[in-house]
């Protein structure tokens, strides 16, 4: 089954394999024109997970691995190093850090965190191989996506680092737990196409068929990550049983980010906290809390300071709107939250905060014993929600009292049924 699936956008795929919409080429999502050699290289370079899963060598594919650019002024390097000294602070500006590292925020951040946590020494990792693997991960994110790109992955990784330092959790974590948490955060959205699962399903995309419409994107992110781990041979020196365990645990962590499983994890967390039966000495309970931490990190944008939170909100809505434009272009039903004419950014964000973010972060605060970081995040969340409500109110006033504009409770609640901003 795996061997039958081809490159994304490959014209040689039979119509029956491409589903009901063989004319949809995901290159359209990029909103940019690529021609000649550049377009061909990018198309070939974007391989799907199963091809990495079969250990396809980049050299055999005729592609010379490219090292990231580090042609930076010493002042920029100095500022980046200074920022890394404060990487555990919640007001860490990932957008500035990405500029200072010339677009290499994910690679630079992970190398630093692996060193800071002693993972390179503990697992006897080769630094060159680690760097090569991280470059592969960073390159497999689509820079054309306004939201699901390598900067988002770096932001989630920085948040995960902060959560791993929470006193209620930190004292129980093993080096393996920390490495799994950081790797899962870095790779949790790798090769994201910029559209959500319902879009892939209704266009009969081969990934939806491959994963039988179940956690389609998350399965793809996981398999892509495993393929890159194997191709890079980062963990090849470790015992086979250990690498198999790492691969499975990475899958469990990444699959937990599926927004459709939100209630499942929230219900379990509430039950554990109510029964006071979490035993973090137990590897199974630690893994569950790593899943919760990754879920929090993945949707923590509303808990950042307003300037950064607003920018992330605008980016994710732009990605939604692009999907809606694509659906409209091909006469498909426009997905919830993707209609720019009906779904305003403030209404989307208010619904997202109310039905997704607040319930999860209230329980996380209970788990941490209302730690200083939890209080900061909840404070930002409340402030940001008030800001969006104020902006929504201004929109309504402009449209007039008689106009039924966006922002009703029923519309906001659709966030709980759609993709997570």
The closest alpha carbon to 112, from 142, 88, 148, 76, belongs to 88
Is 135 a known ligand-binding residue?
Answer: no
82 in a labelled binding site: no
387 is in an annotated binding site: no
Determine contact, residues 182/405, Cβ cutoff 8 Å.
no
Name the burial class of residue 69, with classes exposed (0-12), middle (13-18) and buried (19+) by CB atoms within 10 angstroms of its CB: exposed
Whether 403 has a binding-site annotation, put simply, is no
In angstroms, rounded to a whole number, what is the distance separating the alpha carbons of residues 50 and 287? 26
Distance CA 182, CA 193 (A): 22
List the beta strands (DSSP E) in 178-274.
Answer: none
Please report which helix (H) or strand (E) contains residue 144, including its range. Answer: none
Q: Is 148 annotated as a binding residue?
A: yes
CA distance 16 to 342: 35
Q: Which of 117, 131, 142, 148 is catalytic?
A: 148
The kind and range of the H/E element at 418 are none
Is 343 assigned to a binding site?
no
396 annotated as a binding-site residue: no
CA distance 48 to 8: 7
Q: What is the dihedral of CA 181, 183, 186, 188, to 10 degrees?
A: -80
Distance CA 277, CA 367 (A): 12
Q: Residue 11 corresponds to which tokens in the numbers above?
A: 């014209």
| 13 annotated as belonging to a binding site for a ligand | no
* CA dihedral sign, ordered 139, 158, 249, 265: negative
Q: Of 292, 260, 287, 405, whose CA–CA distance to 343 is shortest?
A: 405
Indicate if 34 belongs to the active site: no
Sign for the pseudo-dihedral over CA of 225, 227, 233, 236: positive
The alpha carbon torsion through 384, 390, 392, 393 (nearest 10 deg) reads 160
Nearest of 284, 269, 421, 417 to residue 344 by alpha carbon: 421
Confirm or deny that 209 is annotated as ligand binding: no
Structure token pair of residue 317: 């809505």
Instruction: List, by residue number, the catalytic residues.
Output: 148
Residue numbers belonging to the annotated binding site for Zn(2+)? 152, 188-189, 298
Residue numbers belonging to the annotated binding site? 148-152, 188-189, 298, 349
Residue numbers belonging to the annotated binding site for AMP? 148-152, 189, 298, 349
């Amino acid at each position: 089954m795996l061997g039958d699936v081809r490159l994304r956008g490959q014209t040689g795929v039979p119509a029956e394999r491409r589903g009901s919409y063989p004319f949809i080429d995901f290159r359209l999502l990029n909103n940019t024109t690529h021609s000649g050699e550049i377009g061909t290289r990018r198309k070939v370079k974007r391989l799907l997970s199963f091809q990495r899963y079969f250990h396809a060598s980049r050299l055999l594919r005729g592609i010379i691995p490219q090292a990231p650019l580090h042609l930076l002024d010493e002042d920029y390097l100095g500022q980046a190093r200074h920022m890394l000294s404060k990487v555990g602070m919640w007001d860490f500006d990932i957008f500035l850090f990405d500029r200072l590292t010339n677009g290499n925020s994910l690679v630079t951040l992970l190398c630093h965190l692996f060193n800071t946590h002693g993972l390179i020494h503990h697992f006897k990792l080769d630094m060159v191989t680690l760097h090569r693997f991280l470059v592969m991960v960073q390159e497999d994110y689509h820079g054309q996506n306004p939201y699901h790109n390598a900067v988002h992955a770096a932001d989630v990784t920085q948040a995960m680092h902060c959560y791993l330092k929470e006193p209620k959790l930190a004292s129980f974590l093993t080096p393996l737990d920390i490495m799994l948490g950081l790797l899962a955060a870095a790779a949790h959205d790798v090769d994201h196409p910029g559209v959500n699962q319902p879009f892939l399903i209704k266009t009969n995309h081969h990934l939806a068929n491959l994963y039988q419409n179940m956690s389609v994107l998350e399965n793809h992110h996981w398999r892509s990550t495993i393929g890159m781990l194997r191709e890079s041979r980062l963990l090849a020196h470790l015992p086979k049983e250990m690498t198999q365990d790492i691969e499975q645990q990475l899958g469990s962590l990444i699959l937990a980010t599926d927004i459709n499983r939100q209630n499942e994890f929230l219900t379990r967390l509430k039950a554990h906290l109510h029964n006071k039966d979490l035993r973090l000495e137990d590897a199974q309970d630690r893994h569950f809390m790593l899943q919760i931490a990754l879920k929090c990190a993945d949707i923590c944008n509303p808990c950042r300071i307003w300037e950064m939170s607003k920018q992330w909100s605008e980016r994710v809505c732009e990605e939604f709107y692009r999907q809606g434009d694509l659906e409209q272009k091909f006469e498909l039903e426009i997905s919830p939250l993707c209609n720019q004419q009906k779904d305003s950014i403030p209404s989307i964000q208010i619904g997202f905060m109310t039905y997704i973010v607040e319930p999860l972060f209230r329980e996380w605060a209970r788990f941490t014993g209302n730690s200083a970081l939890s209080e900061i995040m909840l404070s930002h969340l409340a402030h940001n929600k008030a800001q969006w409500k104020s902006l929504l109110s201004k929109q309504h006033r402009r449209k007039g009292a008689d106009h039924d504009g966006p922002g009703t409770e029923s519309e906001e609640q659709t966030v709980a049924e759609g993709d997570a901003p």
